[in-house]
Amino acid sequence: MDLDRIKILMISLFIFTLCSLLFYYPAHSASRGMSIISDLSHQSGKLGAYRALVIGINDYKDPKIPDLETALNDTRAMAELLGKR
């Protein structure tokens, strides 16, 4: 076989494998009892208190890691944004 035919065969095999996996996984998840939830309810976790741990580090102890300039400000802004929701 020449090189072009081998390339075409490999690409075809890759596409076939990819398509097979795309069709296999949705069918497999259905057999495990998984389904798509269209409307969120209390059971799905929509209601209740939310918590977030937001960490920003500007000054690293390891000299190999360059220090950051805006991590703390970004963290404070994110905490403020999440607190408003």
Tens digit of pLDDT for each residue in 26-47? 555 555 666 666 665 666 555 6
Q: How far apart are CA 42 and CA 67, in angstroms?
A: 43
Give the tokens for residue 15: 């596409």
**pLDDT of res. 29:** 55
**pLDDT of res. 42:** 61
**pLDDT of res. 16:** 86
Is the model's pTM score more than 0.85? no
**pLDDT of res. 76:** 92
Give the tokens for residue 50: 């939310």
- Only one residue has tokens 């398509």, namely 19
Q: How far apart are CA 70 and CA 36, in angstroms?
A: 39
Q: Which pLDDT tens digit goes with each residue over 42-59? A: 665 556 777 889 999 999
